[in-house]
Structure 1
Amino acid sequence: MEAQKRKEREPCPRQKANFLSYIIFGWTIPIFFKGYKKELNTDDLYQPLREHKSDGLGDRLCEAWENEQKQARMKNRKPKLLRAGFRVFGWEIALLGLVLLTLEMLFKVSQPFFLGKLVAYYSRQQGDITEAYLYAGAVVLCSAINVLFIHPYMLSQLHLGMKLRVAACSMIYRKSLRLSKTALGDTTAGQVVNLLSNDVGRLDLAVLFVHYLWIGPLETLVVTYLMYREIGYSAIYGVLFLLLFIPLQAYLGKKTSELRLRTALRTDERVRLMNEIIQGIQVIKMYTWERPFAALVAMARK
């Protein structure tokens, strides 16, 4: 039987999109037109971007990890995967952090400042109308720039998180192929499944919010100062009251991580049990042990 030849997919338009097309998502228009004319299927999907392919990402991260291990042995310290990840993706993380800092500190914070100036203009008896136009234009401009750039920024963050996840999955897969027999005895299939499905997937969310850890305090100081100029010490008291919830959130986050760890351990046990049942399914069927093992599976799923 002859194998069916797969249709070569078209290259992704984003690969050659210019800056304006990237900002306004103009490169997505062709697939929308195609979806308007007919129902889309898997053949209509584009090829993955070159920078998203797992072989290249895995090679870069594995090379950085080997260099990190060499430096750790020379300096007599424990190697850290985080350092290797920063060597590969550090410039992208820094660039996106700079973009977010500009959006948050320059445009988002400036918008209420100019709005306050506009309101103050109408509170005065006299004034040049040009001043009101300038303040109103500044408010609209800050809002427009923030709306125009925040979505490409979020898409870039999601792409970066995906690249981190793909590189980590490729590294885990390569490591699993090189495990010794002793290590295979200590590593269950459930642990590998958890790594590839749950643990690595957290990189997508971590990339989205990691920059707020250092931008948030800076923005809080600036906003507190602006509110202090308007309403005095009441602004400081209000911000301090909000900061009191940080220890509570830290405590709840710690408890959530403990519960997630317990859930992961139960998932490891359940996957290991299912793997053993599948391997011995012929013996189970021969001795009609379906009900006892079904009870074991039901107990593991509770």
Structure 2
Amino acid sequence: VKAGGRIWISIIGLTLFESVMDFTQPVFLEAVLNFITKFNKDAPQDVSLGIILAFSMFIAVVVGAFVGCQVLQISKIYGLRVKAGLTSMIYRKSLKLSPRARREATVGEISNHMAVDVSRICEGIAQATLVISSPFEVAIGMWLLYRQLGPSCFMGLGVVILMTPVQGWIAGVLVRAKHKKLKAMDGRVRLLTEIFSGIKI
């Protein structure tokens, strides 16, 4: 955290700014549609207002896409740095294991830590922006929907809440499957290590 504090501050700031840009697009679109509706009536508004609204919506799309790419790039680079540091740390630690620890920690477990667990942490860092922006986006999205649909917009939120246990069950199944996969990988690496050791002898 100390090493990447500034990076996380920039990621959080850019992520929230990207969310704001994403939600300004429907606001500008609503304004453009209202302008077109009023323009076709007896009291049309100035054409320059429509041009400004359309240009503002275009700028919001471009800026939002640019900021989103920057967030993805920064988080990926930071994740790769963390991955390199953790892999190096695990490798150095594996070289200094005591004989007792070597008997408890197999080569397969160490390989899984270096290949699977570290990669998962790296992917988690890249996906952490969703954890940061999701509550903010849900709140703003519900507010915009409430303006358009009224209380009926909460039906969609209720369906999402009701589906949460199903999503949790699916996540549990996936986690158990990954644990079985890691055990199989551990056994495979252990078997190959024994085979290669026998070949050396």
Question: How does the TM-score come out when normalised to structure 1?
Answer: 0.62
1:201 aligns to what SS in structure 2?
Answer: helix
Structure 1: runs of 5 or more not aligned: 1-85, 284-302
Distance, in Å, in 2 between the alignment partners of 1:139 and 1:243 is 32
Of 114-123 and 237-246, deviating more is 237-246
CA displacement at 1:94 relative to structure 2: 2.5
Deviation at 1:214, TM superposition (A): 3.1
In 1, the alpha carbon distance for the partners of 2:168 and 2:78 equals 26
Larger Rg, first or second structure (1 or 2)? 1
Q: After the TM superposition, list the runs of 4 or more consecutive aligned residues in structure 1 that deviate by more than 4 angstroms.
A: none
Q: Which residue does the alignment assign to 2:28? A: 114
Q: Map Cα deviations across residues 67-99 of structure 1 (whole Å, 9 max, x no partner).
A: xxxxxxxxxxxxxxxxxxx22223212221211
1:1-28 Cα offsets, whole Å, 9 max, x none, are xxxxxxxxxxxxxxxxxxxxxxxxxxxx
Matches of 1:211 and 1:282, distance apart in 2: 48
1:98 and 2:16 matched: no
Q: Distance in 2 between matches of 1:229 and 1:250?
A: 31
TM-score by length of 2: 0.91
Separation in structure 2 between the aligned mates of residue 243 and residue 137 of structure 1, nearest angstrom: 38
Q: Aligned to 2:87, which of 162, 169, 173?
A: 169
1:246 matched to 2:164: yes
Matched, 1:210 2:125: no
Instruction: Figure out how many residues of one structure are paired with residues of the other and give that number.
Output: 197
- Say whether 1:228 aligns with 2:146: yes
Residue of structure 2 in register with 1:88 after alignment: 3
Equivalent in the alignment of 2:194: 276
Deviation at 1:245, TM superposition (A): 2.5
Gaps of 5+ in 2: none
Give the Cα–Cα distance (whole angstroms) in 1 for the partners of residues 132 and 67 of structure 2. Answer: 20
RMSD: 1.6
Q: CA deviation at 1:213?
A: 1.4
Matched position secondary structure for 2:45: coil
Q: Which has the higher helix share?
A: 2
Deviations 1:194-225 (A, max 9, x none): 11111101122111211211321221111111
Q: Which has the higher contact order (CA 8 A, sep 6+)?
A: 2
1:134 paired to 2:49: no
Aligned partner letter, 1:89 = G
Q: Match for 2:8: what amino acid? A: I
Measure the CA separation in 2 of the matches of 1:143 and 1:260. Answer: 38
Larger CA deviation: 231-240 vs 156-165:
231-240
> Do the aligned partners of residues 270 and 149 (structure 1) sit closer, same or farther apart at CA in structure 2, a change above 3 Å counting?
same
Conserved in 1, the CA contact under 8 Å of 2:12 and 2:132? Answer: no
